[in-house]
Structure 1
Amino acid sequence: MRNFFITWSEKLVAVLMVLLILGVIAGAVAMSLSPEPGAMIAAVALLAFGGLYVIMIGGVLYLGFGIYHNTRRTAEALEAQNQTGGGL
């Protein structure tokens, strides 16, 4: 059951990243269409900082999943090593 939740949460994060990227792009396009002075500069800033934010959030989430998978593989390797009589 745990693997089910981990697998689906990874898929959910991938969908979330796509939606966040689309949201940043849509917000920048909407802002650039505004007749206000300086709207284009604000749109570029939103695109730059919003994209950076999405990359940072996605990186942190995927880093957490990577730590989980590395810990699981290490535990499996230690169990296999102990069953074969390896190690100390």
Structure 2
Amino acid sequence: MSPEKLLENSINSIKEGLNTVGNKYDNHIREKAVEKVNEKIHDKGLNIDQIEQDDYEAMVSDLSKDIKEDYAKKASQGLLAVIGLDFLLG
């Protein structure tokens, strides 16, 4: 196998791995959002079948966005805490 082909295969493998991780993350976020939306619907005494599909998807989408923002905030706070400790411990 030529070095160019080996490099190309390696790059493609990395891209596929990143896509897989991204898809799993998005699926995890969506599952969490669906669970929370279903809980909210049941808490209001409604049945999921009573909700229009477009409205349901909008609720899941909005909550997915909120969950991603929350995860990003926690990750940045954790990073800042580690950086702060690094500065303190020098």
TM-score tier (shorter): 0.3 to 0.5
* TM-score calculated relative to the size of structure 2: 0.47
Task: Work out which structure has the larger RCO, using CA pairs closer than 8 Å and 6 or more positions apart in sequence.
Answer: 2
